[in-house]
Homo-oligomer: A and B are copies of this chain.
């Protein structure tokens, strides 16, 4: 007998074969084909923020270095160093507007992705039905499928100024189909839309009445534009006990290279999440946890400047995209994402950009690397996502290249 590798069924499910109906290929196949398109010699990568354009705060590395020097926390509790959790708890309390207990309600994770995976694994098993807004972070659906759950997409609309709206009837349709978990990013990945207080209250009432656990992915909750109000979901009446809030310094603070994130959740869920984390990677890197020691600490001025700089880039980018005939785009209310709709756009070589796989491939050939719409779900059809946390010049060049590709 010779050895032949057979993939476990969970991993096959994670390939999202269902996308073959619409795209002719599974998500995994499309991802790997896009990866094989040779990169442009001067490629602009807009799939993630550029940490050389917006630097992490100096304290992150200095605190990391101190932890290496002291060298007493190479091994922390699985849920994270108590020193770090104690330092963060009062600031998390202030940020979220609810009391956060450092011992029982916080877990430090390998990136916010680590928090998402642990949270979903603590809530989803075979047959669990998980509801998302129409466009959401692509990993949600992949992980839910991997865990044997089913995904339902709830229709949404988004106003020109970036507020996401969900009809009550659509929420009730999801719960009557058996949804027991709701995951939403606020600000939304990929559109940059946010949920108003009124909308959050509507969601909370629904979650309460239907006993739905909520994962509120608030990774971008500090990068909110034009002075808009932001509503922390877990601070709404009754919601703290059934909400996992995902946070982290990888975006607004550009601390992506340290790979730390965290979740605030009720004790029972924290215990389950810790059990998952102990299996996937034991704990978040001990030294890197200390890079969080000054996170959220009296940085109002620093934050205001960072918001302003991102806002300028956003405005340039959105108006540049809107000049292209046929393009539709809403103004992001937060985050560093825009998610333009190119479904009515045709390329110079007459490719139909209703197919965002083709669109993303053409953009890569033209030197602009973006995230294809299918990664945000079926409703991402004809769209792509740009992360505009970049050098301003990169965004200018990218807009030029996109325009050249599709100009009639």
Contact = CB atoms under 8 A, between A and B. Distances in A.
A281 B113 contact: yes
Contact of A7 (B51, B74, B272): B272
B73 A281 contact: no
Nearest to A113: B282
Contacts of A258: 285, 287-288
Interface in A1-49: 1-5, 7-11, 14-15, 28, 48
A84 interface: no
A262 to B, nearest CB: 13
Interface string A127-142: 0100000000001001
Interface stretch (A203-211, A228-236, A319-327, A334-342): A203-211
Contact of A286 (B71, B147, B256): B256
A275 B143 CA distance: 10
Contact of A211 (B4, B15, B111, B124): B4
* Residue among A4, A71, A117 with the highest chain B CB neighbour number at 10 A: A71
A104 interface: no
A280 interface: yes
A382 interface: no
Contacts of A14: 275, 279
Interface stretch (A61-69, A91-99, A183-191, A344-352): A61-69
A11 B122 contact: yes
Contacts of A67: 257
A266 to B, nearest CB: 7
A219 to B, nearest CB: 12
Contact of A281 (B10, B117, B212): B117
A121 interface: yes
A64 to B, nearest CB: 8
Contact of A139 (B71, B74, B259, B279): B279
Given A1-B209, A52-B71, A259-B283, 6 more contacts: A4-B211, A10-B147, A51-B71, A73-B257, A110-B259, A258-B285
